[in-house]
Chains A and B, each alone.
Chain A
Amino acid sequence: MKRLCLTVIGVTAPVLCGGTAAAQVRFDDVSFNMGVASQLYHGDFSAVTVPQIDSTERALAGAGYMGARGTLTLLAQDRQSLRLDFDAGMRQFVTNGFQLRNYAPRELSGSLRSTYTRRYRGGTLRVVPTVESRYIADRPPMPLYLPPGYNSAAVDANYSRAISPGLAVYGRVVGELKDYAAPRVLPALDLLDRRTITPSAGVTLLFRGFSETLDRTTVTFFAAYQYHSYPKQGGLGLPRADDGLQAGSEFTLDRREAHGFVLTLSGNATRNRSSSRRVEYNAGRIRTTAAVELGDDTQLDIAALWAVKRYIHPQEALVPGEEADNAASVNAEITRFLGDGVRAGIGGGWIRAETNFSGDYYERFSVSFSLTVNPRF
């Protein structure tokens, strides 16, 4: 907790020091969002961190949510900038279909991230401290899977530099603490507490699109080493520690102005080795997002994910927080731009996660309607 407090100070210190730049302080990209959703869950998936068990394999949930986010620009100069991103939200569920009782989970979420950017020796240095907190009350049993709440603090430092026009290299180190702050009745949540340090390096190629537009294409290749320490997992006084190697790439084709679409495709492969033999695995993920303009006032956003994991040794028990081996999801939303800074969206989504060794799974279908307002300051 002390570390979290220190990081909070780290995030807010630049803000407090920005007093001299008061004249440049401004809000950007502020949005208020609210909506309703209906979700259908089914499956027989079990999770170590969800101790309640209900025999139902089908549950229905209705949710109302609201959130706000934005950026506070504290300093914007040619050679340096300081921005503070904030995000907060609340979601309230009503559920139906459980055998024991109908739960009413409530989620609260908030994050604060400051980004200090500075041109330094011909390159760009970025330092990004972040604090994040999620809280969930009345967490329901499976199959209504809701990720557990946590407090986290992270610092991301990266330096990138051009080595020729349109080609840059970067080096980056990210350190993160994640504390699931388990209540007394849910001690298993503490098993998820994690400390991670991730040095990575990569190369980015940038190609301009058509002249007089901001369209562009970027391709990034990167490699990372991840060291994870789980102080509450492991036996015989040896906490679990994982060494992961990850390599991947991300491709973004931005043709928003010329053809009305943006496509991002990324993929990575991970080789995870651990002090605990049972969590040694190889994994891969492919993720894609796309935004397509449908006429003057409508946009379709799609996000899809496919993830697969294969353990090196036969699995006999669930790994806390990593209970699923394969997962796929597709989410889409059609947004209608109603007027100056007002949008309405109708969306739907599907997600499925499953294990290899037991064949358990959970699946969620959802539909939602939301309204978003972007006030101008």
Chain B
Amino acid sequence: MRSPLLLAATALAATVAPLRLGAQENALEVVENWNQVYDAAYHNYQGKEGAFRIVDAEWVRLNDELEQIRRTNPRRTRLLLPEIQQLSEQRTVATSEVRAARRQWYDSGDALISALDGYLDLLNLQMQGTPLGDAFNDLLAEFNRWSQRLEEVESQLGPRLSLELRPMPDVRALDTDTPVQLRNKARLLEEEARRVNNSLVDVEEEIDALRRRQERERSSADLQARYDRFDDIVPPVGDPEVDPPEVVPDSTGTGLAQTPAQRLERLETFRDEVEARRDQLLEQAREFRDEAERRGR
């Protein structure tokens, strides 16, 4: 019995060794490593996001222009259409790049926060056992330095889901507005409603993909549960197998902490919000048009 226990102890020791050997130095090394990865991912995301904004701003400007001159200037319309088409393609590529960069940024952020949590816990423990003096002050300075970094990273990451609506445009009907001005304001609101509605496409696509995955995974899990329930595919061959534990993705430092079911729920809530916002904008635009008609009489 002794030798198997020794073997088991060795196996476990091998697993936890990186955590025990020179705990502080090791933890600091991990933090610094993730800090570098995070910085690179953050700057990469900012670069991609900046490039996207330039393309997006131009795309929005041309679309607005097209909306205004479509009926009055056919020549300019003919010139604008291929330009918008080309920009749309660029915008699609840029969107995809931003998403990928954002995911890397979030993933590295999660990993850095985990590493910082561990390191700060460790420093805290050490401070509790250190008398006041230079050594304590060094630990405190180190603690404060990385605490600030943690706050900074958390603030940069902000809410993890970019499922947030833009603020409602502040468009109001004034007593002095002419019917033309009111119609222009209504058009603005309708345009915003169109944009909001367009953003629904991405959300719906993701909801469909997640729901499909969830259904398929559940189907396979139900089947496996049926086999397991009565040990249907367990032949009387030998001792039970050792299955590796289920991978907890955030333990691999690559994110995915949110389950597909949770993500699906957030997306469905967001979709409902988007639909409500679109309807609200269209309703307001309708009121403006009615008012314009009333004032025009």
Contact = CB atoms under 8 A, between A and B. Distances in A.
Interface of A: 28-29, 31, 33, 47, 65, 67, 69, 76, 78, 87, 89, 91, 107, 109, 117, 119, 121-124, 126, 134, 145-147, 156, 158-174, 196, 198-202, 204-206, 208, 211-214, 216, 218, 220, 222-228, 241-246, 248, 250, 256-257, 262, 266, 268, 270, 272, 281, 283, 285, 287, 289, 291, 293, 299, 301, 303, 305, 307, 309, 321-327, 329, 331, 333, 335, 337, 343, 345, 347, 349, 351, 353, 370, 372, 374
A119 B116 CA distance: 13
The dominant DSSP class at the B interface is helix
Given A119-B114, A174-B242, A212-B99, 5 more contacts: A164-B33, A166-B254, A218-B247, A225-B7, A353-B237
Interface of B: 1, 4, 7-9, 11-12, 14-16, 18-19, 27, 30, 33, 37, 96, 99-100, 103, 107-108, 111, 114-115, 117-119, 121-122, 209-210, 213, 215-227, 229-245, 247-254, 256-257, 260-262
A163 B18 contact: yes
Contacts of B221: 29
B252 A107 contact: no
B248 A160 contact: yes
A204 B239 contact: no
A326 to B, nearest CB: 7
A172 to B, nearest CB: 6
B141 to A, nearest CB: 22
Contacts of B8: 199, 225
Contacts of A28: 261
B175 to A, nearest CB: 47
Identify the 4 closest CB pairs spanning chains A and B, nearest first.
A122-B118, A162-B253, A327-B235, A171-B15
Contacts of B226: 33, 65, 67, 89, 370
Contact of B218 (A31, A124, A241, A242): A31
Given A199-B11, A281-B238, A109 B251 contact: no
Contact of A225 (B11, B18, B218, B235): B11
Contacts of B103: 211-212
Nearest to B206: A212
B159 to A, nearest CB: 12
A301 B23 CA distance: 46
B230 A134 contact: yes
Contacts of A245: 7
16 contacts: A76-B262, A87-B229, A124-B251, A163-B18, A165-B254, A171-B15, A200-B11, A206-B249, A225-B8, A257-B209, A268-B241, A293-B216, A299-B220, A322-B237, A322-B239, A374-B218
Contacts of A124: 248, 250-251
A309 B224 CA distance: 25
Given A291-B216, A307-B235, A327-B237, A166 B244 contact: no
Contacts of B114: 119, 122-123, 162
A122 B248 CA distance: 12
Contacts of B107: 165
Contacts of B235: 305, 307, 324, 327, 329, 351, 353
Nearest to B116: A122
Contacts of A161: 19, 251
Contacts of A244: 239
Given A126-B245, A370-B226, A291 B220 contact: yes
Contacts of A218: 247
B50 to A, nearest CB: 19
A55 B191 CA distance: 82
A248 B242 contact: yes
Nearest to B100: A211
A262 B218 CA distance: 13
Given A257-B209, A301-B220, A166 B253 contact: yes
Nearest to A210: B100
Contacts of B256: 214, 216
A170 B250 contact: no
Contacts of A164: 33, 253
B251 A162 contact: yes
Contacts of B9: 199
B26 to A, nearest CB: 10
Contact of A165 (B111, B122, B225): B111
B95 to A, nearest CB: 10
A224 B225 contact: no
A211 B238 contact: no
A359 to B, nearest CB: 16
Contact of A89 (B16, B230, B238, B250): B230
Contact of B12 (A160, A199, A204): A199
Nearest to A364: B232
A209 B230 CA distance: 35
Given A87-B225, A212-B100, A218-B247, A243 B242 contact: no
Contacts of B240: 196
- Most chain B CB within a 10 A radius of its CB, from A214, A248, A289: A214
Nearest to B97: A211
A123 B251 contact: yes
A337 B247 contact: no
Contact of A301 (B118, B223, B257): B223
- Most chain A CB within a 10 A radius of its CB, from B9, B122, B249: B249
B46 to A, nearest CB: 18
Contacts of A241: 1
A324 B33 CA distance: 52
A67 B261 CA distance: 23
Contacts of B232: 331, 349
B205 to A, nearest CB: 10
